[in-house]
């Protein structure tokens, strides 16, 4: 390993990259609003580290070896604060601004992590936070301490980063990663994507989650390449902005979860404004963080015909926060069909290393070829601070011809007449068939009331709630019948934005289920319709 810790990597790479532009930040109109060279980043982070050191004796805390929570909407300030905590010997823990506004959840996370400092890009309006909270702008006003003792002395096995899971099926949980974990994964990503100094990254992904943080903040520094940023809000308002950014900057590496590709496809199909896009530079179009739909990838590449984009450059990936980010990936699309009757094709997420990935039955026995089971990972990227030597990902999948195929989440498995049914499969098929009818996405929820066994939650592409036509009803009935037989169900429709999501943009299944059953369902529907 080239470096012992992240601080050493940061200092060394900044000095090596020098005055070359490292990060470029854009406003909603895709105008450059700020840039950071490696030298500027190094200087600003060192100054902020000195200001943290000056604050420590006044407020009676020591950041070294302790957690510093970071809540920023500004990506550029976040990056500076992140590295300031790292080189101070602290442990950065990025959180979403939305989470920071929930005092109860925030205090719970601060207490669990024994955090000594919360750095935010604005002053906190709430005085009920259980630890020291400081605005980044106020921190920058502090008189610098006369000290050179700001360089981390962390070892490879020391905790380097505390990142949170997406929280799509449960509360987001903090995951401690060592310096060795992070550095190993950065090297894995760089090798898997064959990154060279000529590459350019582009991203709209949230900077406080693993895909945005590791993939587009840490990897560019590690590899010495330039990365361009727009905000998640810019993307959500106009998904074409992501593709425009890639075209404008001649980016070579960019990606997102499956829903973003579907969102772009629907936007282009409706607006047909792709003529100015030139995407021949885009050689790594990765997809991960959720189940990958073959139909979505086909639709996306078809919609971009004539722009220079090639479907050969898809990189289906599999990863999770417990493994820093990437577990596996492959160049190009390979599919596998388990049941010819259901016409379902799964997308491979890469070649399996037997020493790192296994698929097991509930009793722990290794599954046979093409047998669905629990995905277990054990690699140098996996958190070293777990009671188990391997991590049960909570995902289910299978191996075929030495390649891994992910089916869905274990908690989303239901039984119908003794057979396992994976709700993600039902949802993917519904999304494919309902896309032509103004549906953004669908979620199938197992209900516990007496009126229905399942709730099919349908989100519109617009702020107007979709009326359930005879054709839509027939599609839902056919899909439910194919997977769940004669199970009873209700259809609930909401306008765009009506499906609750995590801070990473994935549907929050736990919250949606709570809202869709019983009185909560009725109250929520009335609220959405009133708006």
Rounded CA-CA distance 470/328 in Å is 42
**Where are the domain boundaries for CATH 3.30.300.30 in the chain?**
421-530
Q: Is the pLDDT of residue 387 over 90?
A: no
Residue 150: pLDDT band with limits 50, 70, 90: low
Residue 103: pLDDT band with limits 50, 70, 90: confident
Rounded CA-CA distance 358/187 in Å is 22
Of 82 and 427, the structure prediction assigns the larger pLDDT to 82
Q: Which CATH superfamily is domain 254-412 in?
A: ANL, N-terminal domain (3.40.50.12780)
pLDDT in tens, 5-30: 999 999 999 999 999 999 999 999 99
pLDDT, residue 153, reads 74
Query: Any idea which of 67-71, 128-132, 226-230, 332-336 has the lowest mean pLDDT?
Result: 128-132
Residues 213 and 166 sit within 8 Å (Cβ to Cβ): no
Of 273 and 15, the structure prediction assigns the larger pLDDT to 15
Question: What mean pLDDT, rounded, does the chain reach?
Answer: 86
Q: Quickly count: other Cβ atoms within 10 Å of residue 529's Cβ.
A: 12
Residues 441 and 499 sit within 8 Å (Cβ to Cβ): yes
Handedness of CA 401, 403, 408, 413 (dihedral sign): positive
pLDDT, residue 126, reads 63
Rounded CA-CA distance 428/420 in Å is 17
Helix (H, G, I), strand (E, B) or coil at 517: coil
pLDDT in tens, 151-178: 567 888 999 999 887 654 455 678 999 9
E-strand ranges in 197-337 read 200-203, 226-229, 253-256, 284-287, 314-319, 326-329, 335-337
Question: String of b and e for 143-168 (b: at least 16 CB within 10 Å)?
Answer: eebeeeebbbebebebbbbbbbbbbb
Rounded CA-CA distance 281/248 in Å is 10
- The share of the chain scoring above pLDDT 90, in percent, equals 46
Q: What's domain 43-178's architecture? A: 3-Layer(aba) Sandwich (3.40)
pLDDT, residue 434, reads 84
Residue 531: pLDDT band with limits 50, 70, 90: low
In terms of DSSP H, where are the helices of 324-370?
Answer: none
pTM score, whole prediction:
0.85
**Where are the domain boundaries for CATH 3.40.50.12780 in the chain?**
254-412
Tokens of 414: 């239901």
Averaged pLDDT for residues 19-45: 96
pLDDT, residue 13, reads 97
Q: Is the pLDDT of residue 381 over 70?
A: yes
Question: String of b and e for 294-330 (b: at least 16 CB within 10 Å)?
Answer: bbbbebbbebbeebebeeebbbbbbbbbbbbbbbbbb
Rounded CA-CA distance 457/507 in Å is 11
**Where are the domain boundaries for CATH 3.40.50.980 in the chain?**
43-178
Handedness of CA 156, 504, 240, 435 (dihedral sign): positive
Helices 38-59 and 6-17: crossing angle in degrees, nearest 10, is 140
The kind and range of the H/E element at 70 are strand 67-71
Residue 452: pLDDT band with limits 50, 70, 90: low
Closest CA to 230 of 254, 261, 198, 264: 254
Query: Any idea which of 156-170, 429-443, 463-477 has the lowest mean pLDDT?
Result: 156-170
Rg (alpha carbons) of the chain, rounded to whole number = 23
Closest CA to 401 of 339, 338, 340, 352: 352
Residues 374 and 396 sit within 8 Å (Cβ to Cβ): yes
φ and ψ at residue 223, rounded to 5 degrees: -100, -10
Residues 444 and 456 sit within 8 Å (Cβ to Cβ): yes
Averaged pLDDT for residues 252-270: 90
Rounded CA-CA distance 348/370 in Å is 12
Helix (H, G, I), strand (E, B) or coil at 163: strand
The CATH number, out of the four listed (3.90.1150.10, 3.30.420.40, 3.40.50.10890, 3.30.300.30), of the domain defined by the range 421-530 = 3.30.300.30
Question: String of b and e for 407-416 (b: at least 16 CB within 10 Å)?
Answer: bbbbbbebee
The tally of CA atoms less than 13 A away on the side-chain side of residue 141 is 5
Of 273 and 79, the structure prediction assigns the larger pLDDT to 79
Of 157 and 113, the structure prediction assigns the larger pLDDT to 157
Residues 78 and 70 sit within 8 Å (Cβ to Cβ): yes
Which residues sit opposite 25 in a β-bridge? 34, 229
Tokens of 255: 């990606």
pLDDT in tens, 483-495: 888 778 888 888 8
Helix (H, G, I), strand (E, B) or coil at 448: coil
Q: Is the pLDDT of residue 330 over 70?
A: yes
Rounded CA-CA distance 380/450 in Å is 48
């Amino acid at each position: 390993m080239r470096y012992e810790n992240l601080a050493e990597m940061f200092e060394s790479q900044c000095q090596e990259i020098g005055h070359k532009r490292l990060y470029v930040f854009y406003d909603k109109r895709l105008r450059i609003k700020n840039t950071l060279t490696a030298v500027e980043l190094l200087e600003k982070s060192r100054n902020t580290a000195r200001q943290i050191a000056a604050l420590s004796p006044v407020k009676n805390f020591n950041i070294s070896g302790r957690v510093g929570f970071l809540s920023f909407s500004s990506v550029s300030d976040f990056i500076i604060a992140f590295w300031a905590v790292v080189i101070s010997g602290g442990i950065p823990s990025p959180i979403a601004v939305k989470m920071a506004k929930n005092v109860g959840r925030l205090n719970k996370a601060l207490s669990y992590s024994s955090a000594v400092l919360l750095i935010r890009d604005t002053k906190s309006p709430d005085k009920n936070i259980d630890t020291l909270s400081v605005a980044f702008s106020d921190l920058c006003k502090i008189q610098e301490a006369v000290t050179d003792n700001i360089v981390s002395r962390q070892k490879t096995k020391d905790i380097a980063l505390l990142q949170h899971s997406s929280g799509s099926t449960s509360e987001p949980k903090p995951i401690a990663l060592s310096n060795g974990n992070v550095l190993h994964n950065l090297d894995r990503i760089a090798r898997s994507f064959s990154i060279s100094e000529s590459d350019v990254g582009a991203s709209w992904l949230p900077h406080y989650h693993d895909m945005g943080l590791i993939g587009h903040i840490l990897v560019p520094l590690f590899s010495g390449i330039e990365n361009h940023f727009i905000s998640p809000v810019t993307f959500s308002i106009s998904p074409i902005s992501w593709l425009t950014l890639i075209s404008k900057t001649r980016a070579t590496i960019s990606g997102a979860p499956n829903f973003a590709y579907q969102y772009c496809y629907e936007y282009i199909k409706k607006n047909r404004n792709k003529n100015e896009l030139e995407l021949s530079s885009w050689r790594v179009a990765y997809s991960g963080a959720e189940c990958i739909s073959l139909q979505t990838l086909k639709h996306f590449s078809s919609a971009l015909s004539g722009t220079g984009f090639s479907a050969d450059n898809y990189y289906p990936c599999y990863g999770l926060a417990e493994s820093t980010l990437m577990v596996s990936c492959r160049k190009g699309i390979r599919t596998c069909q388990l049941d010819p009757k259901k016409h379902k094709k799964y997308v491979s997420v890469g070649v399996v290393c037997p020493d790192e990935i296994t698929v097991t039955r509930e009793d722990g026995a290794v599954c046979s070829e093409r047998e669905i089971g629990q995905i277990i990972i054990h690699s140098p990227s996996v958190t070293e601070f777990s009671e188990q030597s391997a991590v049960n990902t909570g995902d289910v999948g299978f191996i075929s011809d030495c390649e891994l195929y992910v089916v869905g989440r274990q908690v989303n498995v239901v039984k119908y007449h003794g057979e396992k049914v994976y709700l993600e499969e039902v949802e993917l098929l519904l999304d494919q068939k309902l896309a032509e009818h103004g549906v953004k996405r669908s979620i199938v929820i197992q209900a516990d009331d007496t009126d229905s066994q399942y709730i099919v939650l349908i989100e519109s592409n617009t702020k107007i709630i979709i009326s359930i036509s005879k054709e839509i009803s027939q599609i839902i009935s056919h899909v439910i019948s194919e997977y769940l037989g004669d199970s009873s169900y209700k259809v609930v429709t909401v306008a765009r934005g009506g499906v609750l999501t995590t801070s990473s943009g994935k549907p929050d299944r736990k919250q949606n289920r709570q809202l869709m059953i019983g009185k909560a369902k009725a109250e929520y529907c009335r609220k959405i319709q009133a708006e």
